[in-house]
Structure 1
Amino acid sequence: MAGPLAGIRIIELAGIGPAPFCGMMLADHGAEVIRVERIGGRIQATDPLLRSRRSIAVDMKSPEGVALIRDLAKDADGLIEGFRPGVTERLGLGPDILLGDNPKLVYGRMTGWGQTGPYAQAAGHDINYIALSGALHGIGRKGEKPVPPVNYLGDFGGGGMMLAFGMVSALLAVKNGADGQVIDCAMTDGSALLTAMTWGFRAAGMWKDEAGTNLLDGAAHFYDSYECADGRFIAIGSIEPQFYAQLREALGLTDDPDFDAQMDAGRWPALKEKVASIIASKPRDHWCEKMGHTDICFAPVLSMAEAPEHPHNAARGTFIEVAGTTQPAPAPRYGGTPTDAPTPPPQAGRHSDDLLGRCGYDEEKIADLRKAGVIA
């Protein structure tokens, strides 16, 4: 793979959700990511999280399988795992062992609660992690229950992407002469970090600790989504005065004095009713034509089916097809080290022979491991 991470080799112990997302990001940007699958593991050929990998299928509970993974890690720059704390130690693949074999190894650990703390050994999912971090509390309408933002905030923004950043940071430290190290990446920590700006607003007295009552959470009439006459939606974010003035003009509200006090939060509910009524009188295409390509800060709310076809996304190649499957393209883009197009997820174990050969295993030994069920 081409890209800024070309020449970096990462071992990924197969898991779900945020750890594979981290592996996808590293692979997208040029790293060779070797995914260690369980014997009998199945790969969904349409899963973007597993694209651009090399694959080896190993019985990780057998001594021979553990030895094999240790051999792979001796020549690797990094390893990522997403098990509960202590699992890889019990397998014989913990950081003490692998960093003993390879002192320059960056050992990335992805969990929900972190490696330490009272919840460390408890099961959980995205919704639980962002609840504990305080992030979920602020998402929703006033007087209603919190709304889970799918699993974007914990698993991927505060989890997999945070681990990818940590891996690259630690790899850079190694390049500059440091030893390898362990990265404790917790979705509670990561999702808390994503709320940094609202903590700043709160400290400045500009944020209420109640969902649906603030500038950026849908309370304001100039920062929300609205339903159109055809049942589709638009999103408006006209915060700055000059953008707000353009919004008023587009909605025919320039001469309405009720809209003069833009930041008077006490008036927001009544003003929102007026805006909603006007927008509901026309279909979405009308508002796209009237507000699109202006400084109103406007966009149509597109479905997953619509987003890849929008002219802006199409022009930038924001979405791509990999083996007939539509999915988001790698991001960001690089001017000097452009990345290759992603490749489809490989069949589990497809590259076993090649990868073991690179570790010095001869054909006879590989055949014996396969016969014994250590690899597949």
Structure 2
Amino acid sequence: MRPLDGILVVDFSTLLPGPLASLILAEAGARVVKIERPGRGDEMRAYAPKLGEDSVNFVLLNRGKQSIALDLKAPDALERLKPLLARADVVLEQFRPGVMDRLGLGYEALRRINPKLIYCSITGWGQTGPKAHVAAHDLNYMAETGVLGLSAGADGAPVLPPVLAADVAGGTLPAVLNILLALRQRDQTGLGCHLDVAMGDNLFTFLYWGLGNGFSGAGWPQPGNELVTGGSPRYRIYATKDGRYVAAAPLEDKFWENFTRIIALPEPLRAPDAPADAVIAGISERLASRTAAEWQAAFEGQDVCCSIVASLEEAVNDPHIAARRLFAHTLKTETGELPALPVPVAPAFRAEPARARAPKLGETTDPYLAI
């Protein structure tokens, strides 16, 4: 058995944070029923690139789920959903605060139908506060929580992040964590609860060191000046001779000594009191003297905490990733099979690699739901 076998999740969410959360729950055994708009369904279905009728993004995020098409604004929508909601363990939604209440599907209304229901709301800024109804995307949350302000490119401007950290790290993962905690609490109390998951709130956890510096009076961190923002020669990205890059993180002395020895950094620049700017310049000069492949060979088997910056294609084809079978799970598509999106569920809690597929819009006819 998987840990969440027998758990029913009714998922009203779209796009990324909620669907990825319900995918993780599904991988651990939960049955997930998506409630989608007739005709269009989840907005993610229309994204590019396409993989058959739906986008590859939708296919990756919604494998193994079921889909019911229902207009939530229809007068009888709640009555038609009641049988499903009465049996549900979890409801997942990510509308702006108040939308589900206006639809008659808010927590208080559903709590009367099912007191054991765990109701998880994922929003950008939470259910309360001045920003609760402000429209925003991942980049905005990172901008307004100080995350983006601590990154800086060569021109000093913030660097556009290539990952949707607020959606995944601030929304998806805290939602899953709190749903599991709520299920455990329900085992003890018999009652469900309303979970207010705010992506903006949860990004601050990742800035623990900066918060510590600021609150303690040591000074609020600045881009380019701190240990992990480019101020230290021991934690930087350096260019190689062939236009590639080395991500160097020899923070501890034992790694630093190995690193400086291998790159033949001049002795005066290895001293603890050497000026950071001079050390950075010296390392830059040394690493620019050889190609990435030459440095890869020099670092091989050495404890230096240095990596050649890989492309996504190179990373996917890394022998270590192959040995870990990270992409062993596959999903069915209209054109064949595709490696499934890896999710952070331990192998012990998952079924053997399966060939699940994403649902067609409205394909599920639930015997307990009068559709």
Which residue pairs with 1:241 in the alignment?
253
Which residue pairs with 2:148 in the alignment?
136
The Cα shift of 1:205 comes to 6.0
The Cα shift of 1:93 comes to 0.6
Residue 346 (structure 2) pairs with residue 333 (structure 1): yes
Q: Which amino acid aligns with 1:312?
A: H
The Cα shift of 1:178 comes to 4.5
Change (3 A) 1:333 1:66: same
CA contact (8 A) 1:319 1:329 kept: yes
Which residue pairs with 2:362 in the alignment?
349
SS at match of 1:325: strand
Which residue pairs with 1:154 in the alignment?
166
Q: Which amino acid aligns with 1:28?
A: E
Q: TM-score, normalised by structure 2?
A: 0.87
**Count of residue correspondences:** 352
SS at match of 1:122: coil
Residue 282 (structure 2) pairs with residue 274 (structure 1): yes
- Deviations along 1:307-350, one digit per CA (max 9) or x if unpaired, are 11011111112335434434542224244x33443623111122
SS at match of 2:4: coil
Which residue pairs with 1:89 in the alignment?
101
CA distance in 2, matches of 1:208, 1:270: 24
Change (3 A) 1:293 1:315: farther
The Cα shift of 1:25 comes to 1.9
CA contact (8 A) 1:70 1:93 kept: no
CA distance in 2, matches of 1:322, 1:147: 34
Q: Alignment partner for residue 76 of structure 1, among 88, 94, 100?
A: 88
Q: Alignment partner for residue 311 of structure 1, among 315, 319, 323?
A: 319
SS at match of 1:55: strand
CA distance in 1, matches of 2:227, 2:148: 17
Which residue pairs with 2:16 in the alignment?
17
CA contact (8 A) 1:139 1:217 kept: yes
Which residue pairs with 1:372 in the alignment?
none
What is the root-mean-square deviation of aligned Cα atoms in Å?
A: 2.2
CA contact (8 A) 2:13 2:95 kept: no
Alignment of 1:145-184 (within 5 A): 145-184=157-196
Q: Which amino acid aligns with 1:27?
A: A
SS at match of 1:6: coil
Q: Which amino acid aligns with 1:279?
A: L
Kindly indicate whether structure 1 or structure 2 has the higher relative contact order, using CA contacts under 8 Å at least 6 residues apart.
1
Q: Alignment partner for residue 257 of structure 1, among 268, 279, 286?
A: 268
Q: Alignment partner for residue 114 of structure 2, among 97, 102, 109?
A: 102
Q: Which runs of 5+ in 2 are unaligned?
A: 46-53
CA contact (8 A) 1:85 1:121 kept: yes
CA contact (8 A) 1:139 1:212 kept: yes
Q: Alignment partner for residue 67 of structure 2, among 43, 55, 76?
A: 55
Between the aligned residues of both structures, percent identity stands at: 30
The Cα shift of 1:244 comes to 0.6
Q: Alignment partner for residue 298 of structure 1, among 299, 303, 306?
A: 306
CA distance in 2, matches of 1:74, 1:212: 54
Q: Alignment partner for residue 235 of structure 2, among 200, 219, 223?
A: 223
Q: Which amino acid aligns with 1:13?
A: F
Which residue pairs with 2:297 in the alignment?
289
CA contact (8 A) 1:14 1:38 kept: no
Q: Which runs of 5+ in 1 are unaligned?
A: 370-376
CA distance in 2, matches of 1:326, 1:233: 29
Change (3 A) 1:248 1:136: same
Which residue pairs with 1:46 in the alignment?
56
Q: TM-score, normalised by structure 1?
A: 0.86
CA distance in 1, matches of 2:190, 2:160: 40
